[in-house]
Amino acid sequence: MIKYIIRRVIGAVPVLFGLSIILFAFIHLLPGDPAATILGQHARPELVAQMRARLGLDLPLWQQYFNYLADLSRGDLGNSFINNRPVLTDFVVRFPGTVELTIAAMIFAVGLGIPLGRLAARRPQSLTDGAVTVVSLVGISIPIFVLGLTLQYLLAVQLKILPATGRLDGHIDIPAVTHFMLVDTLLAGNPGAFVDALRHLVLPAIALGSIPLAIITRITRASVLDVANEDYVRTARAKGLTERRVDGRHIMRNAWLPVTTVIGLQVGGLLAGAVITETVFAWNGVGKWVVESIEAHDYFVIQSSILMFAFIFLIVNLIVDIGYAFLNPRIRYS
């Protein structure tokens, strides 16, 4: 197991290296100039040239890349062009907001998707199965921004049940200790603020978790149906085991592997979807920060944030692979 983990970690290095090259090339192909963005469109050319020199943008691209790579190898993600703050500092501040939203969306998707998939698999070709299939297709088909704006209009504007944007009401002041809003409200001993933070989390979590919910539902249904038709399941029923015991010990235990794989892969989708969701709901996380950085041509923020997302995605997939051995004792890593 240890050798397998070491191989996977070493194998992630060329993946991240290749991604850094592609990111660097595409980011510098974006139209616009960071120096002109900082100084304004009416800035004199000589001032723009001075700003480019100060930012190091006057160097050849290959030299800029190797300078960035050298800083990256030392754990330095660079400084923002806009506020000159270290990218890592701002990332640490904003990342908890994205994690909080991602976890909430995953809880919504897994907590609803697995039961719906199991329900549909127990009654194949029935009205229930058809309804679950239609819901999952609709969930996959609706873009996140469309669903997000629809939820805002119905539940926040028309019904006024839930807040439309932000992580906390502007009148509530909570000290930022962990930058996880739910945790900080508890640490502050303010249950009212905790409830308010939960209410702000509902709509973006539903919008972000809608696509993973649909995918997990369909994979769970297909996986349960495949396992339910195996010979050992029919044998277990023939021995007189209760349906609950057959379902728990024989069907679901063997159906977990593909479902677990999909859940792990959906983490990457959630991180990508967070960019849109955080923009729609004005959620102060890394996704919204990346969008603002793209508009401002803040190269270091864009490159470093996407690289960090890729690294997290690789780690999550490694954890999922290791979890296979616990879910299925027949799997061994050598």
CA dihedral 127, 131, 133, 137 (to 10 degrees): 150
Report the amino acid identity of residue 94.
Answer: R
Q: Which CATH architecture has domain 92-265+274-286?
A: Orthogonal Bundle (1.10)
Rounded to the nearest integer, the mean pLDDT of the chain is 85
Strand partners for 86: 79
Domain spans, the chain: 92-265+274-286
Tens-digit pLDDT profile for residues 29-59: 877 778 877 777 777 888 888 888 888 888 8
Query: For residue 156, is pLDDT > 70?
Result: yes
For the residues 250-264, what does the mean pLDDT come to?
A: 80
For the residues 47-72, what does the mean pLDDT come to?
A: 85
For the residues 61-85, what does the mean pLDDT come to?
A: 85
Query: For residue 334, is pLDDT > 60?
Result: no
- Of the chain, the percentage scoring pLDDT greater than 90 comes to 25
Q: Reduce the DSSP state of residue 86 to 3 states and report it.
A: strand
Question: What residues have CB less than 8 Å from 3, skipping those under 6 apart?
Answer: 333, 334
pLDDT at 2: 75
CA dihedral 74, 80, 83, 84 (to 10 degrees): 30
pTM confidence score: 0.86
Query: For residue 322, is pLDDT > 70?
Result: yes
For the residues 190-219, what does the mean pLDDT come to?
A: 92
pLDDT at 331: 62
CB 66 within 8 A of CB 169: no
Of residues 312 and 243, which shows the higher confidence score? 312
- Of the chain, the percentage scoring pLDDT greater than 70 comes to 96
CB 78 within 8 A of CB 71: yes
Kindly report which listed range (116-125, 133-142, 169-178, 246-255) carries the lowest average pLDDT score: 246-255
